[in-house]
Amino acid sequence: MANDVNHMLAAMSPERRVRVECEVDRIRSAPLYQLRKALALTQEQVAQELGIGQAAVS
């Protein structure tokens, strides 16, 4: 998958790549609860996906 992403990024214009990288930075800096709510996921669903206990997500 990383290879596919790298190919996509390489094919983008420099301006587009900067916009994508800024959006990635914004998403990475968002607190987990904001991402979870935006995706309409429960703590249990996130925990299951990550292979951790629900208490670690709360």
Strands (E), 1-58: none
3 state DSSP class of 46 = helix
Q: What is the pLDDT of residue 27?
A: 83
pTM: 0.52
Residue ranges per structural domain of the chain: 2-57
Mean pLDDT for all residues in the chain: 88
